[in-house]
Amino acid sequence: MTVEGTWDLSLSTPLGRMKAVLELREQDAVLAGVAHGAGERVPLTDIALDGDRLTWRQAVTKPLRLNLAFDVTVDGDALRGTSKAGRLPASQVTGARRTAPEDRA
Residue 101: per-residue pLDDT: 59
| Domain presence at residue 99 | no
- The reply to whether 71 falls in a domain is yes
**Residue range 41-61: average pLDDT?**
96
Mean pLDDT on 49-70: 93
Cα–Cα dist 77/61, whole Å: 28
pLDDT of residue 39: 87
Beta bridge partners of 59: 67
Instruction: Give residue 27's pLDDT band: very low, low, confident or very high (50, 70, 90).
Output: confident
Rounded to an integer, what distance in angstroms lies between the CA atom of residue 40 and that of residue 56? 17
Structural domains counted in the chain = 1
Range of the domain at 22: 5-90
Q: 11, 20 in Cβ contact below 8 A?
A: yes
Structural domain contains residue 62: yes
Residue in 104, 85, 98, 103 with CA at minimum distance from that of residue 15: 85
